[in-house]
Structure 1
Amino acid sequence: MNGLKLELEIVEIKDIAFDSTTAVRDHILYIDKEELINYLDDPRLQNMEVDLARPGESVRIIPVKDVIEPRIKDDGTGGSFPGFLGGYEGVGDGKTIVLRGCSVITTGKIVGFQEGIIDMSGPAARHCEFSELNNVVVKADPADGIEPSEHEAAIREAGLKAAHFLAKAGIGAGFDSVETYQLPEVSAELPRVAIMYMTIAQGLLHDNYVYGIDAKMLHPTLLHPNELLDGVLVNGTCVVAADKQTTYRHQNNALVRELYARHGVDLNFAGVIVVPVRPELKEKKRCCNGAVNLARTIRADGVIIPEEGGGNPEADLMMTCRACEKHGIKTVLIIALEDPLTDTTPEADAVIDVGNDDEVLTLPPVKKVLGYEEQVQLLSGAPENCIGDDGTIQVPLYVITGLHGSLIGSHVRGEVY
């Protein structure tokens, strides 16, 4: 797996603004708003709007559906997200232009109750890495008669298209740095470590997409880590906002980058195994056993298993842990222990807690809302009376998009007392 070499050409974006053309100049991303809206036109959507949200501004984005970093292949094809807006050749290899410091955020009328909030300032901002980005916010509501599943597909595709549109401005703009990802041969004495990447695949607005394919349709799949960094995994799930693994998190996977940094030092990074998390017991067993067989095939000595979501995925987590340990593969689990676990196993003796999210925050009124603030009362975990007469909002931390998840890179942590 050492043949692929991915070079991320980083274009630093320090501000965003509307202009008559879309271009990057002096680290500012200028956007032709009308052209972007026209590019995103879709009969499944209506009330399309594009707005900007910068760090420190009194802006609230709600309900957040996804966060995406603008990227595009610098190989003449102009592909961005294989299976959606790009082909498959060269994924995880060659050069990819990255607009670092900005993102596309999608919002609009509710798709599922498990959406979230991003505040660009105030007490919620310090818990959210996306509050530190220059965000291009795409709001679109479902056209009349559109079912929630069609709405989710339309707004997901609109976010990817917007990221692709913006990333094109980085072509020829000049990059500030290059991140290179390659897995050279290392000492055979080093332990072989893989990531078992649990990926929600449960239907009813709880899905993810690998190379454009609904993960429900997949058996566990082995990927080179470069493929993950190059946009093959797209978020389509409406799990609780704090647990949501946004597309941005997949693109900037902190766990992958950590193992890359240690490759050849104290471990041999053996790859990424995508494990669909299905609701049916039969399918859980299929995916668990398939994942363990792949780990054995690549001769993994150890695996790190970050959980996505909570509740029934803990059955997959523990089942996989138990089977790995049975075959001599050491496991480390990454999980948010905000609630009692629905399942456990004695073999789960190395667990990383990424933090609790039950603390209640009081969010002050903001000058500008992008989306629909009243829908906070529909979010998972938010009480119906959470909006006060003075305009303040009282909500638990788990309505903050990407608060922790299990990919490491959040602003909360768990501590043992």
Structure 2
Amino acid sequence: MAAQVVIRARRAVVDGAEQSVAVSVADGRIVAVDPYDTVVPGADVIELSDDEVLLPGLVDAHVHVNEPGRTEWEGFASATRAAAAGGVTTIIDMPLNSIPPTVSVAALEEKRAVARDQAYVDVGFWGGAVPGNLPDLRPLHEAGVFGFKCFLLHSGVDEFPHLSAGELREALAETATFDALVIVHAEDEQTIESSPQPHGQGYAGFLGSRPKEAEERAIAEVIDATRETGGRAHILHLSDADAIPLIATAQAEGLRVSVETCPHYLTLDAEEIPDGATQFKCCPPIREHDNQDRLWAGLEDGVIRTIVSDHSPCTEELKRFDSGDFGEAWGGIAGLQLGLPAIWTEARERGHSLVDVVRWMGEGPADQVGLTDRGRIAVGSPADLVVFAPDESFTVDVAALRHKNPVSAYAGRTLTGAVRQTWLHGIPVDIDADPRGRLLTRGQS
């Protein structure tokens, strides 16, 4: 197929390396990746500046859009605009905190109907595993969800109850029959309940209410259940670096257990969180700097293979800035638009390259959910591309973000790396024009 557009970049992340390339695009897909000086007759040529790097569109497999039902927290229009502004071209939406939660095919169809004409990037959906919906899991899988989210303790919203240890095993055994992925919020309920309850403005009190042992005990439970059932499990938003050896051992054993972490755990330190700064509250919590160093080591060793946002926004009122009380505030970090610059700012300081960042935030999440032609610049892949200026710095202004509510743990921070343009299906995204994102089903390219 003849190229319609050629993007020429002296720096581009292709095939696990930085290269000088000419990327040819036709009908929304990449049709050739040639050396930089290649002449492509008849095509419009776009030349990137010397300070720009061409990246593949990133894939964020952990996003709470919250629509329908809690659209004042976030919605598909605002979330996907923020994604595009942050270089993310595919998101997978969590089955909560929307109402209804995505625990049946009827609820999935309701969510798809709301999202269909609002998406500025491509959107897929997770299903939910909750008590009593075991018969719904296979129909949801056949309807195209990318897997099933569950909690091992209260989810924060009553309409999405958590699974017991026995129910987790039942869900893993059922999903093993059709090889679906179960993704788990792994904190142990009993450990949390027996810990001091958070109250007041001190972050140390909140941190003490979500001890590392809660993650380790729950992750051990997930590993045992995976071993017993033969299922596939993915540990969500790992904050406790002490759990990495548990996961590494399970992976070495051949168990199908994977794990992700998030930009806030890799870039923010418990020691630096001021009193009353509830924008930093999330579960599991942001931990100390030494713990952060060891999370980075887990990425370097390949035990942790993906970085996703866990974008979990809410209204300003729910963060309780009036009292600054960590016990009362909603827990969640709104970071969909800022994940790439936040990670790049820290990664470059630690000696990592954009190749590493693309592996963790593009290829890794894409492969996890089976969208194996995304998150990379390759012939046949969707022409989802990002023009990134890795040396350009900016200070985060929450009022300028595309998230619905002006709440961010990164407010006022100086980050390095700016997204100058995002392409979806071979066309630059215009977040002030009509949306062109597509709704994805499992197995769809």
TM-score (norm 2): 0.26
TM-score (norm 1): 0.28
Higher share of residues assigned helix: 2
